[in-house]
Amino acid sequence: MNITEDYLPKEMFLKLRDYVFNSEFKEFDSGEKLFSYIETPDDVKEFISNEHGKPILTFIRRAYEGFDEDPRIHCDGIIAGVKPHKAMVLYLNEEGEVDENGTAFYRHQEHGWVFNSDEVEFNRLLLEDSNDLSKWDLVSYIHSKPNRAIVYDCNMFHSKYPYKITGGVRYVLVAFLK
């Protein structure tokens, strides 16, 4: 787990926020869940590539009251058929813009902290366990800060936290790195 404050250069962060507030979000249906997202702009993609290696997938997602409120505890061990090594979350909200929130990490009652199984079990966890809190212990929580980036092993179980946002809109940039 790696935490970087002031991850993007200030100018780029402000420009990115501008883009987020002036873009029309799209919906993506992963099969068991709807996401609201926009694409990561090229200059930010390039910046991430130089820091961490090429993102195999990156987007900006949002959550707000009435949308994206389930825990969906998961790992990012298989993304679009590819196994990334690391995942990154960059928090885009300024202080006071949205409820206090962040990213929580969990221990699963059978798998422990990290996923080390096959695609069948990966999918079963998403369909059966991801919203069943009795299967998980919340073990750590990192709260959001403007322009804070966290990078973690893709096999670590995590979710946004709290699950429901009741004030404001939560914006994060997500990247899966290989």
Which residues are near Fe ion by CB under 5 A? 76
18/132 with CB nearer Fe ion: 132
> Could you tell me the smallest distance in angstroms from the CB atom of residue 15 to Fe ion?
25
44/88 with CB nearer Fe ion: 88
- Tokens at 7, concatenated: 């991850």
3-state secondary structure of 29: strand
> Could you tell me the smallest distance in angstroms from the CB atom of residue 81 to Fe ion?
16
16/104 with CB nearer Fe ion: 104
Q: What end-to-end distance do the CA atoms of the chain give, in Å?
A: 16
> Could you tell me the smallest distance in angstroms from the CB atom of residue 22 to Fe ion?
26
Amino acid of residue 87:
A
Phi, psi dihedral angles at 136 (to 5 degrees) = -135, 150
24/27 with CB nearer Fe ion: 27
Cα distances (angstroms) measured from residue 81 to each of 11, 90, 132: 35, 23, 25
> Could you tell me the smallest distance in angstroms from the CB atom of residue 96 to Fe ion?
25
